[in-house]
Amino acid sequence: MAITKGDTLPGATLVKMGADGPQQVTVGELTKGRKVVIFAVPGAYTPTCSSAHVPSFVRVKDQLAAKGVDEIICLSVNDPFVMSAWGESTGATEAGITMLGDPESAFTKAIGMDFTAPPAGLIARSQRYAMLVEDGVVTLLHAEASPGECEISAGESMLEAM
């Protein structure tokens, strides 16, 4: 069952690229006492993710910060090396968006947002969504009906809903 508004995020470990290589971070560490936007994509370097989803959050980063958002996190079922390179190539890293990998899809599966599309080579990937999390609790959730869509999960839609 997919996570919904009012649910507490499950404990999970994600991975980011640190100064000395891959670094594990827990969802609890990221969200405790903080207001965080997490947006997830089916895959780094995929067309809609690169041309629409990430750029939408780069565009509204400052406006989200003005509404009290402490951090914007982009999450994908990819390794931290790919997420780091993708963050550099999209300008997300320069904009201050945190790029995190869920390489085993553990978090994605735990919140019920996984899907598989073998013809596209996407196995155990994340559905496209954006959520506002306050102190570990989902207060706003926008999930797309299709992984190729980026409307309600875009940065502008999240900003408007807040």
- CATH of residue 157's domain is 3.40.30.10
DSSP 8-state symbol, 25 = E
Question: Looking at the annotation, which residues are catalytic?
Answer: 49
Q: What total number of domains does the chain contain?
A: 1
Flag whether 144 is in a domain: yes
Residue 93 pLDDT exceeds 90: yes
Q: What is the pLDDT of residue 119?
A: 76
Q: CA separation (Å) from 69 to 38, 57, 62, 162?
A: 11, 12, 9, 10
Q: Which residue has the tokens 């706003």?
A: 140
Instruction: State mean pLDDT over 79-98.
Output: 96
**What is the rounded average pLDDT for all residues in the chain?**
93
Convert the pLDDT of each residue in 18-36 to its tens digit. 999 999 999 999 999 999 9
123 pLDDT higher than 80: no
- Strands of the sheet containing 137-143, edge to edge, are 21-26, 13-18, 98-101, 71-76, 35-41, 129-134, 137-143
pLDDT value of position 88: 96
Taking the mean position of all CA atoms in its chain, how far away is CA 56? 12
Give domain status of residue 3, yes or no: no
Range of the domain at 33: 13-161
5 falls within a domain: no
